[in-house]
Structure 1
Amino acid sequence: MTALPVDPHLYTTFLGVMAVMAITPGPANLFAVATGVEKGRASALIGVVGMNCATLVWFGAAALGLGALVKAFPQAFKIIAVLGALYVAWLGFKALRGAFSTAADPEKVVVRKGRSAFVDGFAVQIANPKAILFFTAVLPPFVDVNRPVASQMALFAVAAIGMDMMSMSAYALSGAALSRRMQQSRFRRGFGVFVGILLMAAAVLIVSRL
């Protein structure tokens, strides 16, 4: 019987974490909203394609880096996985803390007129702090050191890009309506609690599989 390319339990947990991160407002989703408002839905969707092309570049780099790390330092990789799980828990704690604090208004993204939406989208995601942290801290705990890294990265990429495409497109097409909804403190508070609980539960699941 051929072994599966990914650990089913880790992959299921990854799908849950990725779903939460995909729908959480951040530079990428806010860029999609701003582009939809400023340039229209077609440009916003082109920007979404640009952002996910940048994500694909990140996955390629992660596959090369994580593959070399697993091969050279398997024990060190487990330590990185634990740190990644702690980071996911920290994200959950921050979401809960933000939900019950007098948080400032959500950050805003400025869209430059006259520029290609694809180029802008690619630039936003390639330098997105949320993306950098995802690939350096969140992704490693889900990699099984006993399975080929490349095939795992391919399945992680399919899931991540698929969810991001759906989430970013929803933000882009909803535009101003969703932006106004996120300005409501009650809605933001409930959303923060939901995200925080899911992320902390995911961190527990990650640690239990190490």
Structure 2
Amino acid sequence: MIDWTTLIAYVSIVLGFVFIPGPATLLTVARATSSGTRVGIATGAGIAASDVIHTVTAIVGISAIIAASATLFSIVKYLGAAYLIFLGIQAIIAKSPSDPTAARSVLITPQTAFRQAIVAEVLNPKTALFFLAFLPQFVDSGNGLVALQLAIFGTIFVLLGLLSTVIFAVSAGRLGNFLRRNPTVLKWQGKIVGGIYCALGIRLALQER
């Protein structure tokens, strides 16, 4: 069983990670601001689901294979970057609504946001390597099955990450509801959100192992 000292230290460090704005936060805030709180929460849930996948891949060794292969790492990285840039371009070229009533008809659904977030996060090899490098630091072979410990630490990370994205989504969603009443904001919000997605895609493409 994981000792309480290790568990408290782990939770404290993870809280610091998940509440410092990063790519996942930017994705969530961008969606919540442009399409509402529910869509932001769905985006956070998609990211959390992807982190579950990353936890599993770290446990079974797939992340280690990606880490060891420059080719595989690059393939996953460029697929992820291309997907984010594709979403960004879609948002940029989409026709901007001229009034709040019309804006409601072009908002993406929570289901779409959830699926997009899963794909974007799964195709981020840096996240896979993070789980591979971070989780084992808190594992002690004397505390039982290593795989079980990794699963527990991964689950805690996912839950705390989901908590942070929900908080960001609610805050950004309220701000977005206010901003979407302004015709100028409506005109430019798609381009701004698209620019954020493209920037994240370029950032991912330029990252090294």
Shorter-chain-normalised TM-score: which range?
0.5 to 0.7
Contact 1:28 1:128 in 2 (8 A): no
1:151 corresponding residue in structure 2? 148
**Aligned match of 2:96:** none
| C-alpha RMSD of matched pairs (Å) | 2.8
Q: Hey, what does 1:104 align to over in structure 2?
A: none
- Alpha-carbon separation, structure 1, partners of 2:164 and 2:89: 19
Deviation per CA, 1:27-62: give whole Å up to 9, x if none: 111101000011111111111111111111111111
Counterpart residue identity of residue 162, structure 1: L
Q: Does 1:29 find its partner at 2:29?
A: no
Structure 2 counterpart of 1:16, which letter? Answer: S
Alpha carbons 1:55, 1:161 under 8 Å: kept? yes
Q: How many residues align?
A: 133
Q: Separation in 2 of the partners of 1:112 and 1:153?
A: 38
Matched, 1:170 2:197: no
Q: In 2, distance between residues paired with 1:17 and 1:26?
A: 15
Report the Cα offset of residue 157 of structure 1. Answer: 2.5
**Structure 1 counterpart of 2:118, one-letter code:** F
Q: Does 1:62 align with 2:55?
A: no
Higher helix share: 2
Aligned to 1:123: 119
Unaligned runs of 5+ in 2: 65-86, 92-107, 177-209
Code of the residue aligned with 2:157 in structure 1: it is A
Q: What TM-score does the superposition give when structure 2 sets the normalisation length?
A: 0.56
Instruction: State the identity as a percent.
Output: 26
Contact 2:136/2:150 (8 A) holds in 1: no
CA distance, structure 2, for counterparts of residue 40 and residue 167 of structure 1:
17
Question: Is the aligned partner of 1:44 residue 2:40?
Answer: yes
In structure 2, C-alpha distance between the alignment counterparts of 1:111 and 1:41, rounded to whole Å: 23
Distance change >3 Å, CA 65–CA 122, structure 1 → 2: same
Q: Counterparts of 1:143 and 1:8 in 2: how far apart (Å)? A: 13
Deviation at residue 171 of structure 1 after TM alignment = 1.0
Based on CA coordinates, which of the two structures has the bigger radius of gyration?
Answer: 2
The 1-side partners of 2:154 and 2:48 are apart by: 10
Per-residue CA deviations over 1:134-157 (Å, capped at 9, x if unaligned) read: 212222211112320222123212
